[in-house]
């Protein structure tokens, strides 16, 4: 029997309209199994919700996979192995498996773990990753700012690395995308005010979802509690531009530069 | 007469299957005008080509807009103004205008200039940016590496900032995306070899297009001439992880940290 194929199906940040045609075609297949990540048995799946809001129905075969929110490496490894084994059971019976993920499957996604573990258990499994639109691309589009203008540099980090690192990156990059800003929000707002960057910063909660909230007057957020899925995009005017080697220069020119 | 609306229509990196449903719906409208960037009158439009390869036909109203490849600010400003005025002529006659862009309209895109100039000429114009899949997200999906794993940091830069900056960022970020690597390719390969990062680097030419070329054995690229649309993704194992403030920590814990 031919083994099934595993698909990492990016569904975009939440608006079903931001699903790609490729992912949409994959979702129409009634012969494939849908799997999707949940945090606990009690939680809904954000990824599945995108597909359901698109008007699709669960196919006959479907299975939630638990990826707990923990940094306990042993616990994680146990759950990843369980999830991979559940997927393999389907694949070994010749069924293709769609793993539904919000955003992009290569970007802060549980698909990285799942595909790695499936491959470790059976290296013959064919895997296709269908790329998608990320939350920060949707956020930049919504607030109509460039994520990157010509020659710009962009850094994307979880805000948890702290204020000193954020401050440093504001001097080094044109655009700084801060993910999961919730636990550090007031400190970040204080820093942005100090650096006179509040006006060129945008806060987006649950980007691309029906509950999306965009705040440009960031000072108004002080002391507020925000959703876990919150990001801030800062367009920094502090970055000093280094010397740029242009694409049109030939190699001899580059070699002779100091 | 109601003025038309301007759409920044991201078509993804080249594979027509990576167009979003929203952009796809917009492309079906026979009443809208298609505009698309070209470098010179003699050049084809890569963005238009994506739509045509998807099997779509040019609508009755369509117009190429010239965005020359130059860093001459005065020349650029003149062409941007011409392009914006051409778009405004349609908008002022009540026609919606689709501006077709490859990749994502907020990421290194001519739409940034076009929308800025249109707004400067007529601030009443409604603008919608439809986000899309970038070339580096498609590239990461194709080579099946995470662009960002849990807690990872990502930097995206045009390679032209030079070897010293690339070397620095390899120590500071988990993933480094280098765009437009062509003029510096041999120097980059030399650096990656010195840092023992060739094995965790991936070269992708024309990501997502029918001529896409992926090279994992980067040493084989030495001395080769590559396309202008070439990128390298480096997964760096050199980055020293700083202390991380977890999302589950409360503010008093953070405040008491050194």
Same domain assignment for residues B125 and B169: no
**pLDDT band at residue A150 using 50, 70 and 90 as cut-offs:** confident
Neighbours of A193 (CB within 10 A): 14
We report the CATH number of the domain holding residue B89 as: 3.40.1010.10
Q: How many domains does one find in chain B?
A: 2
Which whole number is the average pLDDT over A205-227?
A: 91
pLDDT digits (tens, 9 = 90+) for A34-44: 999 999 888 89
Residue B71: predicted pLDDT:
80
Which whole number is the average pLDDT over A155-183?
A: 96
Same domain assignment for residues A140 and A125: no
**Mean pLDDT score across all residues of chain B:** 91
Residue B42: predicted pLDDT:
85
Q: Which domain holds residue B67?
A: 6-130
Q: Which residues contact B52 (CB under 8 A, 6 or more apart)?
A: B58
Cα distances (angstroms) measured from residue A240 to each of A114, A244, B227: 41, 12, 29
Contact B144 A129 (CB under 8 A): yes
A37 touching B (Cβ < 8 Å): no
Q: Collapse the DSSP code of B224 into the 3-class scheme (helix H, G, I; strand E, B; otherwise coil) and give the result.
A: coil
- Report if residue B33 sits inside a domain: yes
Chain A interface, best mutation among B76, B125, B127, B247, by max A CB count within 10 A: B247
In this structure, what token pair is assigned to residue B20? 């979003």
pLDDT digits (tens, 9 = 90+) for A85-101: 999 999 999 999 999 99
Same domain assignment for residues A68 and A156: no
Same domain assignment for residues A31 and A83: yes
Cβ pair B159, A151 in contact under 8 A: no
- Comparing CA positions, the residue from B130, B25, B208 lying closest to residue A24 is B25
Residue A229: predicted pLDDT:
87
Residue A243: predicted pLDDT:
66
Residue A201: strand pairing partners: A234
Q: Is the ipTM of this complex over 0.85?
A: yes
Same domain assignment for residues B10 and B126: yes
List helix spans (H) across A68-127.
73-92, 110-121
Residue B61 DSSP class = S
Same domain assignment for residues B200 and B102: no
- Chain B contacts of A130, Cβ < 8 Å? 141
Same domain assignment for residues A139 and A126: no
We report the CATH number of the domain holding residue B198 as: 3.30.950.10
Same domain assignment for residues B53 and B67: yes
Chain A interface, best mutation among B7, B24, B133, B253, by max A CB count within 10 A: B133
In a 13 Å sphere around the CA of B157, the CA atoms on its Cβ side amount to 28
In this structure, what token pair is assigned to residue A174? 């044109």
pLDDT digits (tens, 9 = 90+) for B87-105: 999 999 999 999 999 999 9
A156 burial type by CB count under 10 A (0-12 exposed, 13-18 middle, 19+ buried):
buried
Which B-chain residues 142-161 have CB contacts (< 8 A) with chain A? 142, 144-161
In this structure, what token pair is assigned to residue A66? 């638990």
Residue A102: predicted pLDDT:
96
């Amino acid at each position: 029997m031919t083994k099934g194929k595993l698909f990492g199906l990016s569904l975009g940040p939440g608006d079903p309209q931001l699903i790609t045609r490729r992912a949409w075609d994959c979702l129409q297949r009634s012969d494939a199994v849908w799997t999707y990540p949940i945090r606990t048995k009690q939680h809904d799946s954000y990824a599945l919700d995108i597909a359901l809001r698109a008007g699709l129905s669960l196919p006959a075969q479907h299975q939630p996979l638990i990826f707990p929110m923990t940094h306990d490496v042993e616990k994680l490894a146990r759950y990843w192995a369980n999830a991979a084994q559940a997927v393999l059971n389907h694949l070994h019976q010749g069924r293709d498996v769609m793993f539904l993920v919000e955003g992009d499957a290569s970007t802060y996604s549980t698909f990285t773990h799942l595909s790695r573990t499936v491959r470790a258990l059976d290296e013959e499994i064919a895997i296709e990753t269908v790329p998608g639109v990320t939350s920060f691309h949707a956020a930049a589009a919504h607030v109509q700012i460039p994520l990157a203008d010509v020659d710009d540099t962009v850094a994307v980090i979880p805000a948890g690395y702290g204020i000193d690192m954020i401050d440093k990156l504001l001097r080094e990059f044109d655009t700084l995308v801060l993910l999961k800003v919730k636990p550090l929000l007031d400190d970040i707002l204080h820093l942005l005010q100090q650096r006179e960057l509040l006006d060129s910063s945008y806060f987006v909660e649950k980007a691309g979802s029906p509950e999306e909230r965009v705040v440009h007057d960031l000072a108004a957020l002080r002391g507020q509690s925000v959703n876990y899925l919150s990001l801030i995009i800062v367009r920094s005017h502090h970055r000093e531009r280094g010397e740029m080697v242009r694409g049109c220069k030939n190699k001899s020119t580059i070699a002779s530069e100091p």
